[in-house]
């Protein structure tokens, strides 16, 4: 091979010499026989073939892909490197026409080689060429793509399965944790196994009594029972039954056992005279302090409330566990009433455990154009009343506050609809108390209402009326 080696004909096609140097190999290439060699930039130059052909580079790619992915199902056994393909014959330049690169067909070796292997030439004779990848290379590439798709699908499926198992495992573990916590909370708090007495302790309201509870003993005093027709002041949770039964009590542990019996809110029940049973409430309209769960040390005392959502005032209070009742008290509760106020007289509402005293005075009517009216009243007049509010001592904790807003004052004309207080009059403001601030506030309350008789009321956040004052008109 080369200029100084003897030329051999081993039957392998090694490509034609460029058309610009047809005599370099000694023989003019057959692909250019009958063609006129021209300079590359000559106006009659035939454009080189821009389309891929089956040659040595493709054979190397096919062989490498076959080693990686195996043989495709429709593989042909022939070796691409031994195919003697020729370049297609290009049309000669016609004078006066633009150059053409369209082949007129493929040489006879291409046609014969394709027929021997049951194939058709890449391009039909006289048809324009198209981008083409040899069938054998395309088959191997298709097989590789299929295998890659399978690998991706399997990988994604395994990832989804692992993620699902992790989520399910997490939920199971979380469920066991929650179940364990709930079980600890609601399991029989008296683990001694001591049975309740056949005759439970019979207590009297207002008197301390010694109560045995499992392996422990307590001094329990029921001091007061009251029906509250509304939620605590400022709370929106009105009682479902129409009232909350609040039991005030204290407990002192009197034994010295190493373990204590837990007393929870659901260990208290109230059975009214008609036989209806109410369970102790964990949350009762915001009334505090509720004795939700107690684990007392020896000689430790707890004081607070046990509450029930019931409007029944007579019945039996019982302390009972899963072993049965341990103590009972007959209950006859008082009911907090709506206070009828007088102008100029301090009023402290009974209901809702309202923590302040209100004094209302000097009710009067003003109309549009009055200097005190910041805005003209829609109804044509304002009812204006002076108000002084004094906060109860100790009513606020270090971080608590108390407010009396516009909606806590209402005026209802006789035969009419209730109207909230309004800010349309100079000095008519809401009232707010906080720790460290003055406990007395003077303000004005005003109502945009038609002149006439009616009722002025102090109203809780749950809509219940706590105190009233008559307006004569």
228 is written with which tokens? 């509250």
Asked if 454 and 471 count as a contact pair (C-beta separation under 8 A), the reply is yes
Q: What's the confidence (pLDDT) of residue 405?
A: 95
Q: Class assignment of domain 201-335?
A: mainly beta
Asked if 403 and 432 count as a contact pair (C-beta separation under 8 A), the reply is yes
Q: What's the confidence (pLDDT) of residue 46?
A: 46
Q: What's the confidence (pLDDT) of residue 14?
A: 55
Q: What's the confidence (pLDDT) of residue 166?
A: 81
Q: Burial, 262: exposed, middle or buried (Cβ in 10 Å; 0-12, 13-18, 19+)?
A: buried
Conformation bin of residue 117: beta by default, left when phi > 0, alpha when psi is -120 to 50 = alpha
**Minimal CA–CA distance to 54: which of 89, 76, 88, 80?**
80
- Span 342-401, pLDDT tens digits: 999 999 999 999 999 999 999 999 999 999 999 999 999 999 999 999 999 999 988 889
* 201-335 against 339-471: fold identical: yes
Topology at the third CATH level for domain 339-471: Immunoglobulin-like (2.60.40)
- Span 421-458, pLDDT tens digits: 999 999 999 999 998 899 999 999 999 999 999 999 99
Q: Are strands 216-228 and 293-294 parallel, antiparallel or unpaired?
A: unpaired
Q: What's the confidence (pLDDT) of residue 464?
A: 95
Q: What's the confidence (pLDDT) of residue 59?
A: 61
Q: What's the confidence (pLDDT) of residue 185?
A: 46
Asked if 83 and 54 count as a contact pair (C-beta separation under 8 A), the reply is yes
Low-confidence ranges of the chain (pLDDT < 70): 1-134, 136-138, 140-141, 144-157, 172-193
Locate the domains of the chain by residue range. 30-139, 201-335, 339-471
Asked if 468 and 341 count as a contact pair (C-beta separation under 8 A), the reply is yes
């Amino acid at each position: 091979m080369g200029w100084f080696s003897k030329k051999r004909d081993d039957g392998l096609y090694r490509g034609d010499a460029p058309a610009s140097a047809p005599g370099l190999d000694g023989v003019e290439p057959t692909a250019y026989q009958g063609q006129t060699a021209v300079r590359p930039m000559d106006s009659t130059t035939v454009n080189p073939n821009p389309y891929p052909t089956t040659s040595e580079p493709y054979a190397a790619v096919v062989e490498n892909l076959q080693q990686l992915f195996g043989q495709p199902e429709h593989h042909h056994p022939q070796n691409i490197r031994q195919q003697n393909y020729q370049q297609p014959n290009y049309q000669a330049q016609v004078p006066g026409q633009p150059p053409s690169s369209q082949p007129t067909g493929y040489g006879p070796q291409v046609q014969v080689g394709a027929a021997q292997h049951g194939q058709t030439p890449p391009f039909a004779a006289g048809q324009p060429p198209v981008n083409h990848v040899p069938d054998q290379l395309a088959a191997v590439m298709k097989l590789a793509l299929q295998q890659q798709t399978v690998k991706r699908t399997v990988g994604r499926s395994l990832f989804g399965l692992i993620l699902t198992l992790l989520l399910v495992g997490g939920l199971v573990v979380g469920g066991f944790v929650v179940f364990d916590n709930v079980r600890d909370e609601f399991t029989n708090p008296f683990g001694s196994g001591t049975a309740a007495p056949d005759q439970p302790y019979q207590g009297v309201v207002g008197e301390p009594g010694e109560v045995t509870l499992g392996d422990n003993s307590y001094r329990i005093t029921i001091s007061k029972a009251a029906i509250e027709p509304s939620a605590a002041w400022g709370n929106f949770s009105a009682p479902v039954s129409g009232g909350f039964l609040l039991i005030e009590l204290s407990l002192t542990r009197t034994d010295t056992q190493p373990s204590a019996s837990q007393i929870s809110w659901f260990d208290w029940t109230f059975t009214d005279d008609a036989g209806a049973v109410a369970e102790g409430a964990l949350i009762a309209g915001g009334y505090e302090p509720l004795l939700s769960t107690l684990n007392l040390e020896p000689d430790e005392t707890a004081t607070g409330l046990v509450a029930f959502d019931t409007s029944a005032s007579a019945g039996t209070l019982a302390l009972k566990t899963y072993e049965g009742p341990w103590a009972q008290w007959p209950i006859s509760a008082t009911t907090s009433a709506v206070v009828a106020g007088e102008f100029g007289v301090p009023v402290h509402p009974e209901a809702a455990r309202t923590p302040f005293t209100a004094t209302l005075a000097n009710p009067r009517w003003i109309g549009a154009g009055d200097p005190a009216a910041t805005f003209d009243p829609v109804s044509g007049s304002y009812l204006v009343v002076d108000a002084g509010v004094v906060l109860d001592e100790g009513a606020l904790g270090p971080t608590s506050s108390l407010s009396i807003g516009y909606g806590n004052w209402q005026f209802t004309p006789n035969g009419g609809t209730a109207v909230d207080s309004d800010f349309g009059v100079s000095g008519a403001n809401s009232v707010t108390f906080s720790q460290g601030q003055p406990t007395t506030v003077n303000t004005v309350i005003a109502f945009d209402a038609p002149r006439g008789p009616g009722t002025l009321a102090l109203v809780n956040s749950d809509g219940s009326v706590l105190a009233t004052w008559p307006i004569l008109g």
